Amino acid sequence: MRQEFGRWFLDVAKYILTALLLSSFFGEMNNIYYTILAFCIFALCLLVGALLLNPNLSLGLAWILFFRRVDFV
């Protein structure tokens, strides 16, 4: 059951990100608050889904993994 909820949260996160990208490409996003709200919901669903799929992952470690710095050389 926990695995199913984790996959569901990851699917919701993907759908929110897809809707955000499509609406920004095909329409005008005049209000930045909708974009920020959608990104926050995406991040929350992604984090909850990752925590539900991997129960050994603590919240602190998930925070570090999600917001780690990536250097592009």
Q: Which amino acid is at 6?
A: G
**Residue 73 has what pLDDT?**
46
Task: Say which residue, 42 or 69, is predicted with more confidence.
Answer: 42
Higher pLDDT, 27 or 65: 27
Stretch 53-59: mean pLDDT, rounded? 68
The reported pLDDT for the residue numbered 4 is: 85
- d(CA 34, CA 24) in angstroms, rounded, equals 11
Q: Chain-centre distance of CA 32, in angstroms?
A: 18
Whether residue 39 contacts residue 67, with contact meaning beta carbons closer than 8 Å, is answered with no
Encoding tokens for residue 29? 């996003």
Lowest mean pLDDT, pick from 27-31, 34-38, 48-52, 69-73: 69-73
pTM of the shown model: 0.67
pLDDT of residue 60: 61
